[in-house]
Structure 1
């Protein structure tokens, strides 16, 4: 845990909770120690700030490397901010980025930390819940850690596209019962196991978020 993280985490979450007063349910479902995956729906870029602000332990998310490589005072401020809230850089334009990000996540889980992930791959731009990609299941099955499903509502209204000022709107963060996969899929082909685990996680997320299911994979928006 870096000094920057310790300082920012002692300041940002209390302020954010005071201003936005999010409704938080099921926090007791998040283990206080040990490796755990927090698998959430994804509605806004602020999701990666909201979740760490309401969870009392450090939650690591991945963020695109551009946020960490800027120059000048703005670049320094960006790097300190993202490092301070527990994010790690990943190069999304690298053809090997997906594998590298999985290795990074396994390292986080191997240290007994909490790792946040969006199985949809990218944020939903129409509010629907898209089909989950199996990376989350790979992590859970490989690391043997539980998955806590997370349902977010309202975060897409905090700072809509085109708005420069965050809005104070109702936000709800709900944590579901942990999904334990260790030992459940012994002898099951890897591809089938990953698909079944992923679908189970997405079903749990949908029950928490109440979103309409898109039934298809989401695609990254063009930059």
Structure 2
């Protein structure tokens, strides 16, 4: 595994990690790769399923998006590190999926920096397929860690769709640059 930009990980304080998402193994790979930088701290990855809890996932009920935001903001207020995949799901294509605005809400409402990460070399739809591909000797996984992106904290009442979309766009463009994937501008209905 290659890690580029580990010096960009803050030594203290709350922050949000925002990588592209190729397959199920991305969370545990990122957690293990960043172990030295986040030692004695826990990295909570937002996960859609309880089965990912053992892999560093924080299971969330996606039917209640308000609860997702509140739980995550609470962790950030406690000084924790949170990981979220802004594409919303695994995506093996050469283009990133449109970024969801939940990440922008977290960044803007918490005032915490976001660390964009490009994950390169993971793929496969299921645990067996992706594990075999990842651990093949000729296969390299690379994490490219970008510089922290800082945004001014704003009140929820000041939040507009334009602010959310612009913030999301900026973060997704940086993730695209780091991951080597294309980013076609656009926003889902979230």
- Of the three residues 22, 40, 46, the one matched with 2:19 is 40
8 Å contact kept, 2:49–2:59? yes
Aligned twin of 1:143: 110
Shift of 1:105: 1.0
8 Å contact kept, 1:63–1:87? yes
Aligned twin of 1:190: 160
8 Å contact kept, 1:122–1:218? no
Shift of 1:190: 2.4
| 3-state DSSP of counterpart to 2:45 | strand
| 3-state DSSP of counterpart to 2:152 | coil
Aligned twin of 1:28: 7
Shift of 1:126: 2.3
Higher Rg of the two aligned structures:
1
| 1:126-205 alignment, distance < 5 Å | 126-156=93-123, 159-161=124-126, 163=129, 165-167=131-133, 168=135, 169-182=139-152, 189-205=159-175
CA change 1:210–1:38 in 2 (3 A) is same
Aligned twin of 2:51: 67
State the number of aligned residues: 179
Shift of 1:53: 0.8
**The structure with more helix, counted as a fraction of residues:** 1
8 Å contact kept, 2:2–2:142? yes
CA change 1:164–1:31 in 2 (3 A) is closer
8 Å contact kept, 1:62–1:90? yes
Aligned twin of 1:9: none
Greater shift in the superposed pair: 162-171 or 141-150: 162-171
CA change 1:101–1:208 in 2 (3 A) is same
Shift of 1:88: 1.6
| 3-state DSSP of counterpart to 1:24 | strand
Structure 1 gap segments, 5+ residues each: 1-21, 69-81
Aligned twin of 1:76: none
Aligned twin of 1:121: 88
TM-score in terms of structure 1 length: 0.71
